[in-house]
Structure 1
């Protein structure tokens, strides 16, 4: 089943419910700051687990105490889809438990 890109209005509505997430070119992005490198690394592992569960993976970068994500769907021509929004929502949920800001 093909995944369809979100319309501009659907994307706007989705981002309204995802504080801190923005549209950057063809993907939605968010950066998180954590209390230490270890805390950031633990959150990266947790995000990787969620990505495996969803079978949907982001561009994920680990800095000293920061994590940056960029999400879009390659099979939809690199556009943002509902799969991307679901991954972002799951990351937002787990971020609170990691103390990410």
Structure 2
């Protein structure tokens, strides 16, 4: 059974606890800026591990010193669900350890 969509109000309230994350259309997004390309690669690998643990994957983009995530729940009709916020919360918790600016 797919996860239930969250209301815009629920999403915005929860994003208030996730610095850098925002609602863009039917997705939540965040771009992290790091000091070096190597640090960005490290964060990307760590995010990929979390995604595999949760069995929930974002669009994940590695730039020179940036890592961008954009996510919604495909099997719920491409809307934001608890799965997306759980992923965002886990990523936000590990990002500072990678030197996010």
Fold conserved (TM > 0.5)? yes
Q: Provide the secondary structure at the position in 2 that maps to 1:69.
A: strand
Does structure 1 residue 30 correspond to structure 2 residue 30?
Answer: yes
Counterpart-to-counterpart distance in 2, 1:51 and 1:73: 13
Correspondence 1:3-22 to 2 at 5 A: 3-22=3-22
List structure 1 segments (4+ residues) > 6 angstroms apart after TM superposition.
Answer: none
> How well do the aligned residues superpose, as a CA RMSD in angstroms?
0.8
CA distance in 1, matches of 2:40, 2:8: 32
Report SS of the residue matched to 1:32.
Answer: strand
Segments of 5+ residues of structure 2 without an aligned counterpart are none
Give the unaligned 5+ runs of structure 1: none
Residue correspondences, number = 101
CA contact (8 A) 2:37 2:64 kept: yes
TM-score by length of 2: 0.96
Equivalence for 1:69: 69
Report the 3-state secondary structure (helix = DSSP H, G, I; strand = E; otherwise coil) of the residue aligned with 1:80: coil
- Is the Cα contact below 8 Å between 2:12 and 2:23 reproduced in 1? no
Tell me, yes or no, if the aligned pair for 2:29 and 2:70 is still in contact at 8 Å: yes
TM score, norm. by length of structure 1? 0.96
